[in-house]
Amino acid sequence: MSETEFPWWKKGVFYQIYPRSYMDKNGDGIGDIAGITDRLNYVSELGVDGVWISPCFESPMKDFGYDVSDYRKIDPLFGSNEDFDALLKRAHELDLKVIVDMVISHTSIEHPWFSESRLSSDNRKADWYVWADPKPDGSPPNNWQSIFGGPAWTFDTKRGQYYFHSFLKEQPDLNFHNEAVQKQMLSECEYWLERNIDGFRLDTANHYFHDQELRDNPPRDHSKISTGLQIDTVIPYTMQQHVYDKSRPENLEFLRKLRKLMDKYGDKMTLGEIGDDDPYKLSVEYTQDGDALHTTYNTHFIAGTSESELTPEKIYMPFKELAKHSTTCWPSWAFTNHDVVRVATRWGKGVQDKESFAVLLNKLLLSLRGTPFLYQGDELGLPEASIPYEQIQDPWGKFMWPEWQGRDGCRTPMPWNKDAPAAGFSLNNNQEIETWLPIPEDHQVRAVNIQDAEENSVLHQTREFIHWRKTQDLLQTGDIKFYEDAPKTLIVFDRYNDNEKLLCVFNISEKDVTFDGETYAPLSVTYTKN
């Protein structure tokens, strides 16, 4: 096995950090860069190989950093560029890679580029964004819908045209058909490559281009509606086939340009977030030739908001879908991230032993073929937090209420010390500290200091497993084969290569289960090498 065939990003484990909620160093109730740096020893001891840091660039925070107003400046809320440099230096001293979230499909409405673009239809940046005239009756140019609710077009009275936004109206989409925009966004990426980051997680990586004819999206067969999102609820966005507002063929050509830039800087990586009607087909297109993305972040395991049961089919299905298009594509997986209901709750319907279930979930993720991404708090087995309506911060949650509280339930601050103010999230020990989101009691009792003191805690078992995984080439690089004839309360697969195999058995029930002459204890994980 060569390092070219299995580079660091294929063999490693990543840990996602949501800066607002990881560690508050300056005592304002919001996490910051210095706080992350302060906790890098903890991350390193966990055994992971790299961290993905969610957006921390300057932003008015309408979508909490996913609306960027300056790509080259750390938002003062989180610190400074020098703080980021210190974080990067410390991470590299600990042999941790750092990838940052680049949100380049759209900017903030407060970005200077948009302020100039909206002035007229003939200024220097007039076509840096997607502008269109209204229909004769004044209605939007076509039927495209915003993911966050309502039409994907907002009328701008200053310019007298509509502008396109896939998300909030405060997040106008850039016009990548303009070569100047492409060149500028590559330059924004290069700025951080020059600062020695190790790669990018590319937000909405298939959203860069739109159909220039602005054709209407066709309807989806209502009997086969699939949200393509993390939510269960049917909304206008989910009623369409997204043929013209994203996943356009030109998108791949831009990703190839980005890859050429990345390759100039050596051993870097790109992780693309793919949300599409057929994300597996698109993932293969974007990675198979080795000249665009390195890997893609597939969404099947994180979809849905309703509490449900973990089943073997939930695990087998995305691999089967991927195999329809490629058996060599290298995927990336997560069970939880900053946008979805935490998996301990989402798949934990009826489970009584929450801690054992959380350990099983972590080991399962870390045993699948592909690059695993743990989200902060996964190592503690944190459940979804319930947020009172009056404390909801997420604009998507406000739109979806009461069907869904939005994304705040997975974004609450990390509990570090059960007995400290704000569960140790703030380092200034202010008894009156008010965190930007509440920290629920069932998170506080799962705090790091509590679990550090318990040998069988979720944290201890997850940490030990990550370190053990480093010694298991088959879990890092082996192929995978599922036993679909196993009992429906077992998830069974081989990780294998030409010379050996590792049988992996996960009893996802709370009863003994017998298979192939062996009995497996409730919520147990068993590995047998042959």
Residues 187 and 88 in one domain: yes
Query: What local confidence, expressed as pLDDT, does residue 297 receive?
Result: 87
Q: Which of 469, 487, 510 is the last residue of a domain?
A: 469
Q: Which of 469, 495, 517 is the last residue of a domain?
A: 469
Q: By residue range, what is the domain housing residue 196? A: 8-104+179-210+245-469
Mean pLDDT of 300-325: 92
Residues 18 and 71 in one domain: yes
* Mean pLDDT (the chain, rounded): 95
Residues 313 and 458 in one domain: yes
Distance (Å, whole) CA 455 – CA 453 = 6
Q: Would the CA dihedral through 117, 118, 121, 122 be positive or negative?
A: negative
Question: 248, 191, 189: which is closest to 217 by C-alpha?
Answer: 248
Confidence of residue 525 (pLDDT cuts 50, 70, 90): very high
**Residue 63 corresponds to which tokens in the numbers above?**
């979508």
Instruction: Say if residue 223's pLDDT is above 60.
Output: no
Q: Does residue 96 form part of some domain? A: yes
Confidence of residue 369 (pLDDT cuts 50, 70, 90): very high
Distance (Å, whole) CA 430 – CA 117 = 45
Distance (Å, whole) CA 48 – CA 58 = 28
Query: What local confidence, expressed as pLDDT, does residue 227 receive?
Result: 46
Distance (Å, whole) CA 499 – CA 202 = 36
**Residue 264 corresponds to which tokens in the numbers above?**
């100039």
Report the domain count for the chain. 2
Instruction: Quickly tell me which residue has 């009461």 as its tokens.
Output: 402
Instruction: Say if residue 182's pLDDT is above 80.
Output: yes
> What are the start-end ranges of the E strands in 315-401?
332-333, 371-375
Neighbours of 407 (CB within 10 A): 25
Residues 381 and 460 in one domain: yes
Cis peptide before 372 (omega within 30 of 0): no
Residues 338 and 487 in one domain: no
Distance (Å, whole) CA 302 – CA 372 = 13
Q: Does residue 43 form part of some domain? A: yes
Query: What local confidence, expressed as pLDDT, does residue 305 receive?
Result: 79
Q: Does residue 325 form part of some domain? A: yes
490: domain CATH number is 2.60.40.1180
Instruction: Say if residue 170's pLDDT is above 60.
Output: yes
409: domain CATH number is 3.20.20.80
Instruction: Say if residue 222's pLDDT is above 80.
Output: no
Residues 294 and 352 in one domain: yes
Give how far the C-alpha of residue 203 lies from the chain's centroid of Cα atoms, to the nearest Å: 8
Confidence of residue 303 (pLDDT cuts 50, 70, 90): confident
**Residue 248 corresponds to which tokens in the numbers above?**
């356009």
Q: Which residues are designated catalytic?
A: 203, 273
Residues 363 and 431 in one domain: yes
Query: What local confidence, expressed as pLDDT, does residue 260 receive?
Result: 98
Query: What local confidence, expressed as pLDDT, does residue 5 receive?
Result: 80
Contact (Cβ atoms closer than 8 angstroms) between residue 161 and residue 234? no
H or E element, residue 81: helix 81-93
Least confident segment among 218-232, 311-325, 351-365, 475-489: 218-232
Query: What local confidence, expressed as pLDDT, does residue 225 receive?
Result: 46
pTM (2 d.p.): 0.96
Q: Does residue 438 form part of some domain? A: yes
Mean pLDDT of 285-309: 90
Residues 253 and 332 in one domain: yes
Q: Does residue 53 form part of some domain? A: yes
Instruction: Say if residue 118's pLDDT is above 50.
Output: yes
Mean pLDDT of 332-350: 96
Residues 493 and 344 in one domain: no
Q: Does residue 144 form part of some domain? A: no
Helix (H, G, I), strand (E, B) or coil at 426: strand
Residues contacting 11, CB < 8 A, separation 6+: 49, 476, 477
Beta-ladder partners of 132: 162
Q: Does residue 132 form part of some domain? A: no
Distance (Å, whole) CA 262 – CA 434 = 41
Residues 19 and 52 in one domain: yes
Instruction: Say if residue 1's pLDDT is above 60.
Output: no
Residues 317 and 191 in one domain: yes
Query: What local confidence, expressed as pLDDT, does residue 307 receive?
Result: 84
pLDDT digits (tens, 9 = 90+) for 237-290: 999 999 999 999 999 999 999 999 999 999 999 999 999 989 999 999 999 999
Q: Does residue 442 form part of some domain? A: yes
**Which alpha helices (H) appear in 94-178, and where do they start and end?**
112-117
Query: What local confidence, expressed as pLDDT, does residue 271 receive?
Result: 98
Q: Which of 418, 441, 469 is the last residue of a domain?
A: 469
Neighbours of 175 (CB within 10 A): 23
Which DSSP state fits 171?
S
Beta-ladder partners of 102: 202
Residues 194 and 284 in one domain: yes
Confidence of residue 3 (pLDDT cuts 50, 70, 90): low
Contact (Cβ atoms closer than 8 angstroms) between residue 353 and residue 522? yes
Mean pLDDT of 197-212: 98
